[in-house]
């Protein structure tokens, strides 16, 4: 896991973002766990969900309180999407589920960023391990991830 966190740290540094990575003794795997650890609202957690559109990874960065509408995601990427198995996620992103970061992927994904995150500050996102997060702002999250803003909530 240290290698995954180091990859996120390098991606932040390379983008000129401060190293705001924080690790916790307990899990931040779910949005609720991350919010409790950080001391913020669940909505402020930018959860990274990986989908598969054929061979392409699709990363949806959603507010921690939102459920993702996969039909909307499919329409936005122009292809059917499915939930991949954990091995595919690990092989393609380089992250284990629960630690998938919006940055530092082994294979650059198509990235959609939940429009509901735009009104939240700060935002906390996974930092490569199921007990690590980093603090950012919406505009920085867009720049870091290369994502586009989208209405993806159910």
Residue 2 has pLDDT above 80, yes or no: no
Q: Closest Cα to residue 81, out of 69, 95, 94, 66?
A: 69
Q: Compute the distance between CA of residue 53 and CA of residue 18 in angstroms, rounded to an integer.
A: 32
Residue 141 has pLDDT above 80, yes or no: yes
Which domains are delineated in the chain?
Answer: 2-150 (3.90.960.10)
pLDDT tens, position by position, 65-97: 999 999 999 999 999 999 999 999 999 999 998
pLDDT tens, position by position, 21-44: 999 999 999 999 999 999 999 999
Give the global pTM: 0.95
Percent of the chain with pLDDT over 70: 99
Is residue 140 very low, low, confident or very high in pLDDT (cuts 50, 70, 90)? very high
Q: Where are the alpha helices (DSSP H) in the chain?
A: 2-14, 31-38, 70-77, 86-93, 138-145
Helix (H) or strand (E) holding 47, with range, is strand 45-53
């Amino acid at each position: 896991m240290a290698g995954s966190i180091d990859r996120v740290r390098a991606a932040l540094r390379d983008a000129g973002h401060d190293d705001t990575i924080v690790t916790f003794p307990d899990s931040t795997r779910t949005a609720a766990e991350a919010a409790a650890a950080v001391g913020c609202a669940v909505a402020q957690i930018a959860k990274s969900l990986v989908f598969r559109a054929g061979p392409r990874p699709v990363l949806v960065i959603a507010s921690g309180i939102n459920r993702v509408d996969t039909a909307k995601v499919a329409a936005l990427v122009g292809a059917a999407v499915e939930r991949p198995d954990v091995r595919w996620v690990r092989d393609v992103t380089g992250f284990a589920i629960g630690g998938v970061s919006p940055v530092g992927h082994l294979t650059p994904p198509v990235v959609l960023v939940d429009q509901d995150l735009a009104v939240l500050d700060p935002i906390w996102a996974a930092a490569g391990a199921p007990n690590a997060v980093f603090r950012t702002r919406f505009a920085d999250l867009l720049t870091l991830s290369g994502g586009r803003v989208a209405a993806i909530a159910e």
